Chains A and B, each alone.
Chain A
Amino acid sequence: DAKTTQPPSMDCAEGRAANLPCNHSTISGNEYVYWYRQIHSQGPQYIIHGLKNNETNEMASLIITEDRKSSTLILPHATLRDTAVYYCIVRSMDTGRRALTFGSGTRLQVQP
């Protein structure tokens, strides 16, 4: 699986958009970008994933650059409940059969 690089921490004002970047310059053609988050003392929560097109669901949007070497997770209107560690993980399609490798992630603090 390709290595990812994320900033260790970010702050965001409540109600504003939170834009979390992730670099994955060695991503290969069959690898997806997955985002999970972990709120304190809970298990990780799946957010969104994508291959090359931008994706949106009820939680967030995922913007992947055309060369696929980086991506941005966007929480459109951050709330205090979005304070968590966000993990960007790059891996191939068969996620059901192999474990996820978690890096250090980005600790997002949403400020009131």
Chain B
Amino acid sequence: GAVVSQHPSWVICKSGTSVKIECRSLDFQATTMFWYRQFPKQSLMLMATSNEGSKATYEQGVEKDKFLINHASLTLSTLTVTSAHPEDSSFYICSAGGSLGGPYTDTQYFGPGTRLTVL
């Protein structure tokens, strides 16, 4: 199946700093990428949908100025958590789908996740 990578796999930062998380589709082109957040013992919750070359669409309750998303190419989307606070500590997961005529149009593939801890 298709491979999606995330970097870093974990990060610890101080309150008030910004953290950037990268999501890459390694062997296919992803016109759409998604960012999810998962708190302990809960299911994945969609934060935003990222389309290549256009502005991301955020879910209700997700602050777009706090969670900056950039989808600059068909293989890379980034999520920047600005002015992070302890309540932003969570497991952030991206997924990618919607390739351009390749073999993966039916399915979304997920990255391994990034665990963010804000002190």
Residues of A with Cβ closer than 8 Å to B? 32, 34, 36, 38, 41-46, 49, 87, 93, 95-105
Pairs across A and B, CB under 8 Å, 16 listed: A32-B106, A38-B44, A41-B115, A44-B95, A46-B1, A46-B108, A49-B106, A95-B106, A96-B97, A96-B105, A96-B107, A96-B108, A99-B34, A99-B49, A99-B95, A99-B108
How many interface residues does chain B have, given as a range? 20 to 34
Chain A neighbourhood of B110, CB < 8 A? 36, 43-46
| Nearest-neighbor residue (CB-CB) of A48 within chain B | B107
- CA of A19 to CA of B67, assembled, Å: 40
Contact B98 A96 (CB under 8 A): yes
Most buried by B among A36, A41, A44, A102: A44
The digit string for B85-116, where 1 denotes a CB below 8 A from any CB of A, is: 00000010111011100001111111111010
Closest CB in chain B relative to A46 CB, distance in Å: 5
Complex contacts, B107 vs chain A, CB 8 Å: 34, 46, 49, 95-96
Q: Secondary structure at chain A's binding surface: helix, strand, loop or mixed? A: loop
Please state if A99 and B106 are interface contacts (CB–CB under 8 Å): no
Q: Is there contact, CB below 8 Å, between B115 and A43?
A: no
Which of A43, A97, A100 has the most CB atoms of chain B within a 10 A radius of its CB? A43
A43-B93, A97-B31 are known contacts; what are 16 more A-B pairs with Cβ within 8 Å? A36-B110, A42-B112, A43-B94, A44-B93, A46-B107, A46-B108, A49-B107, A95-B97, A95-B98, A96-B108, A98-B49, A99-B49, A99-B95, A101-B46, A102-B43, A103-B43
With most chain A CB atoms within 10 A of its CB, the pick from B93, B108, B113 is B108
